[in-house]
Chain A
Amino acid sequence: MDKKTIKIVCFAGLQKYFGAETSVAVEPEATYSDVVTELVTANPEAEEVLNSCRIAVKEEFVSLSDKLESVDTLFLIPPSSGG
């Protein structure tokens, strides 16, 4: 089956590597972890920060091991630094 394109919204320090939005193409059965792997491939310099990020979908955190299924947009959340 054809790969599907996932839109990724980036925040804070991540924008230095990917801008405010980017996208990757993944297999239909891909997990969130596969998305991160694609991003590391696209920009190896971002590996450290990518490995410290959480992923949110519809304003809830998801597990890296979950499959994307019908999700087409995700939010990449670097470590919080409010306060």
Chain B
Amino acid sequence: MKHLQHTDINYSELFDEFRHPNSGAVVLFSGEVRDNNKGREVTHLEYEAYEPMANKMIAGILEEAKSRFKLNQAACVHRLGKVEISGCAVVVITGAGHRKEAYDANRYIIDRVKNDVPIWKHEFFTDGTSEWGQNCDCMTDANETGHKHHHHEEA
């Protein structure tokens, strides 16, 4: 499955694919573009990725989550390019027998994607300026490369 796309994410269609006879709980998280960040008015966002690596890493995170939380299904699709206010930037869907696993796995997947996967957010503001996002919360110490952990506000 391709986990990155330059066109709108139709999460209703994705959700419909997530029927499974053993899934009593299916959780859908949609990360959407806010019209403000840290007190500044946002006009839109643009996402960039190191695509082959990001796609491969998301696939790996989903496989790990499926095994760890005993999921029946897991999906994640992230937008690239320009995303308008209220547009869907990322969607995560998890299906499990019961809600606890579906919720926990969903949170785990979105946190890993935000923190680890080489995808970058470029925020554009109403005053004409722009800024690259740096909201790496680094919940895990996943590497030993000297990557200094920044602690920023959750988007």
Q: Whole-angstrom distance from the CB of A79 to the nearest CB of chain B?
A: 4
Which of chain A's residues 29-44 have a Cβ closer than 8 Å to chain B? Answer: 32-33
B56 within 8 A of A: yes
Q: Which residues of B contact A53 (CB under 8 A)?
A: 147
Does the CB pair B119–A13 fall under 8 Å? no
How many chain-B residues does the 8 Å CB contact rule pick out?
37
Does the CB pair B47–A77 fall under 8 Å? no
Most buried by B among A51, A53, A63, A80: A80
Does the CB pair A54–B143 fall under 8 Å? yes
Does the CB pair B50–A81 fall under 8 Å? no
B78 within 8 A of A: yes
Does the CB pair B50–A11 fall under 8 Å? yes
Chain B interface main SS type? mixed
Does the CB pair A79–B53 fall under 8 Å? no
Q: Which residues of A contact B138 (CB under 8 A)?
A: 79
Stretch at the interface among B11-19, B20-28, B64-72, B110-118: B110-118
* In the bound complex, CA of A80 to CA of B117 (Å): 6
* In the bound complex, CA of A17 to CA of B58 (Å): 28
* Proximity string of chain A (5-40) to chain B, C-beta cutoff 8 Å, 1 when within and 0 when not: 000010111000000000000000000110000000
Q: Which residues of A contact B118 (CB under 8 A)?
A: 11, 56, 77, 80
B90 within 8 A of A: yes
Q: Which residues of B contact A51 (CB under 8 A)?
A: 146, 148
Q: Which residues of B contact A77 (CB under 8 A)?
A: 50, 118
Q: Whole-angstrom distance from the CB of A21 to the nearest CB of chain B?
A: 13
Which of chain A's residues 57-83 have a Cβ closer than 8 Å to chain B? Answer: 59, 61-64, 75, 77-83
Q: Whole-angstrom distance from the CB of A49 to the nearest CB of chain B?
A: 9
Q: Which residue of A lies closest to B138 (CB)?
A: A79
Does the CB pair B143–A56 fall under 8 Å? no
